[in-house]
Structure 1
Amino acid sequence: MKTLFVSYRVTDLDRSLGFYTALGYAELGRVEVGDGASLVLLAFPGEPAASLELVHRPGDGPVDVGSGFDHLAIQVEALASTLERLTEAGLRPEPLQYPGGPRGPKTSWLTDPDGYRIELVEWPSGHPDGITAADFARGGDPA
């Protein structure tokens, strides 16, 4: 088994598409499901398949993110330049953080138009992509 994608319900599809394309996602395709509802599949350039789906059901009213969802984590190559690009695109990322100390990962937080939180992560040089069991074998929190 493997995770296919994360799906978010969004209040305003155009506003959310503007946010996620500014973040770097590209639209792969969309499915109109009736009554003005649609599903839009997104991926980052270079990804082999969709990694995010935006679900727009205008008849259901505004999205309430609630208390069960925490955040989506996205790996970036160079966080400082990513934050600069996002700021220039009109997004408002939070300041750079070093949650694991100066030799650990660099992070920043961003919130989408519906209130979903996004953690941007730059791993230290030599760290493999993602979080693996090896991160926990070192005895520390990987992020």
Structure 2
Amino acid sequence: MKTVLFALRVSDLDRSLAFYRTVGYVDLGTVPFDDGSSLVWLRLPAEKSVSLELVHRPADGPVEVGGFQHFAIEVESLAETLERLIAAGLRPGEPELPGGTEGPKTSWLVDPDGYRIELVEWPPSGPPTVE
């Protein structure tokens, strides 16, 4: 088994698409429904298939984020990623070293609906693995 994707319900599809495209996601396709709802499938450039689904249901009203903690995106260089995102008008948080100087470098970003995204640059030893 493996995780295929996760879905986030969004209040304003155009606003969310602009945000996630700025982060680096690319569109794979849209599934429209007769009631005005739609699903949009996205992936990061290094991914071969969909990894994020934006769910837009205008009739349900604004999204209220609750119970969802965050999701993480691995980046090659946190410093370069933050520079690019800031230049594009996004507001990532200051870099952090939650595992100390030998651990990962992280920063937090919040999407237009309030979903939290952790940007992670792993140390040279790589991410934790199971043998």
The count of corresponding residues between Structure 1 and Structure 2 is: 131
Mapping of residues 1-143 of structure 1, within 5 Å:
1-66=1-66, 68-127=67-126, 130-133=127-130
Distance 1:83 1:99 in 2: 17
TM-score by length of 1: 0.88
Distance in 1, Cα, partners of 2:117 & 2:31 = 25
Instruction: Give distance in 2, aligned partners of 1:131 and 1:20.
Output: 26
Deviation at 1:3, TM superposition (A): 1.1
Question: 1:40-90: per-residue Cα shift (whole Å, max 9, x none)?
Answer: 000001211000000000000000001x11001110000000000001111
Identity %: 63
Q: CA deviation at 1:131?
A: 3.8
Cα RMSD for the two superposed structures: 1.0
SS in 1 for 2:20: helix
| Structure 1: tracts of 5 or more residues without a match | 135-143
Structure 1's consecutive aligned runs of 4 or more residues displaced over 6 angstroms after TM superposition are none
* Per-residue Cα deviation, 1:96-132 (whole angstroms, up to 9, x for no partner): 00001111100000000000000000001131xx542
Secondary structure of 2:19's aligned partner: helix
TM-superposed CA distance for 1:4, in Å, is 0.8
Aligned equivalents of 1:131 and 1:63: distance in 2? 33
What is the SS of the residue equivalent to 1:133? coil
- 2: distance between equivalents of 1:25 and 1:34? 26
Structure 2: how far apart are the matches of 1:51 and 1:63?
21
Q: Distance in 1 between matches of 2:34 and 2:65?
A: 24
